[in-house]
Structure 1
Amino acid sequence: MHAHDIEKSLRSFVKLKNRSLRELTAVDVLDLATEHWLSTDVEGVRPERGDGLVAYFEVLNRGRGTLFEFGVNRIMTFARSDDDYIPWLPAVKVRMSVAFKANLVVFQLGPVACNFMCWNKKSAQDFKEEIMASAPFRLVAAWSPHSAGVASEECTAPWGDPNHPTRAMSWAIA
């Protein structure tokens, strides 16, 4: 499958599971995004850290007011055919997220922008367990979502370690 087909495939996967975006919860987003990642392969990605998941919690404003968003982004970084070094490689990010109205409880969590990443499909269960054990996830797991969505966009990813020395994982979230 091509990276640009993943968004459509993810939307079809949600329908196949008899779910609609409007009814998704944080648990659904984590389960569906991870299960879809495990069941699909992408052509042309880097052999190492070229296809992975980055989950995040962040306070955002996507034009609907201040929301607390939980999302799982699938990051697909393309392999380079030449040996020229470029610091940032072309990539595609497919976001599956659910947002909640931000309230005082969210701000009492302290710094809410956090992320979790998984680049090895064999570690998917550990990835999910780490997220489910986090304070932000335990908080939103019981909340009714304000909105949910799936979107894809082209982006860039660092040549080496995804946890960039100066930008950290900011390039891969939200």
Structure 2
Amino acid sequence: MSMNRNPSQAEKDLRALIRANKQTLKGMMLPQALDLMSAYYQNARDYDVTPDEGDALVVYDDITNRGRGTRFEVGIARLFCLPTKKSSTGPQPALRLRLRLCYKFDMDVATGILPEDTWSHYCWSPADMASVLEQLSNETAYQVLKDKVPAEVNISLEETTYLPTKKHPASDAQQNWWGVWDVD
């Protein structure tokens, strides 16, 4: 019997960390959000996940519309690959905890970021997190958005699936759908 925590409580854990840091989602800026998720990824390592590459940290940018108008989104996600009895190369269960920062289209976003290609950076181990953060700091989107207050910041925990053979997808194939196998 493992003593590890169920990843289904990850959203509660993250919200508790935000409270402990005396932070709120409202007005959270990108550098704070990255610090928060990085610390959470480094320090909360006792979730019950698959032993081999079972816990990823992902940062992506995307253009999304979730009913409040089109936004430029930077998401910081943690993908938990859940242990399962059946071993296969088919879809496996996972949970995705996302902290999303959504920005209105202003001139900076329209002229500075939109012409750029979308990107995502990820790692399967806290040891590789520094290189993810370094890559991110060189992205135009980060430079443009780091001092802006997002229009909206939220946390969600979603059930999803991943393909074991696609744990290292091409950098242009991820965005909002990172770690989700069954979308175009």
Structure 2 length normalisation: TM-score?
A: 0.85
Alignment check: 8 A CA contact 2:97 2:157 kept: yes
- Stretch deviating more after TM superposition (106-115 or 42-51): 106-115
Matched, 1:133 2:138: yes
* 1:43 corresponding residue in structure 2: 47
Matched, 1:105 2:121: no
* 1:30 corresponding residue in structure 2: 34
The CA deviation at 1:2 is: 1.0
Question: What secondary structure, in the 3-state scheme, does the structure 1 residue paired with 2:142 have?
Answer: helix
Please, which of 105, 121, 126 is the counterpart of residue 126 of structure 2?
121
Q: Count the aligned residue pairs.
A: 172
Gaps of 5+ in 1: none
Amino acid aligned to 1:142: D
Amino acid aligned to 2:136: I
Alignment check: 8 A CA contact 2:28 2:149 kept: no
Please, which of 68, 74, 80 is the counterpart of residue 70 of structure 1?
74
Alignment check: 8 A CA contact 2:98 2:157 kept: yes
The CA deviation at 1:3 is: 0.7
* 1:57 corresponding residue in structure 2: 61
Structure 1 length normalisation: TM-score?
A: 0.89
Alignment check: 8 A CA contact 1:98 1:149 kept: yes
The CA deviation at 1:173 is: 6.9
Amino acid aligned to 1:2: N
Identity over the aligned pairs, expressed in percent? 23
The CA deviation at 1:104 is: 4.1
The CA deviation at 1:5 is: 0.4
Alignment check: 8 A CA contact 1:59 1:102 kept: no
Question: What secondary structure, in the 3-state scheme, does the structure 2 residue paired with 1:160 have?
Answer: helix
The CA deviation at 1:62 is: 1.3
2:11 and 2:108 mapped to 1: Cα distance? 32
Alignment check: 8 A CA contact 2:167 2:179 kept: no
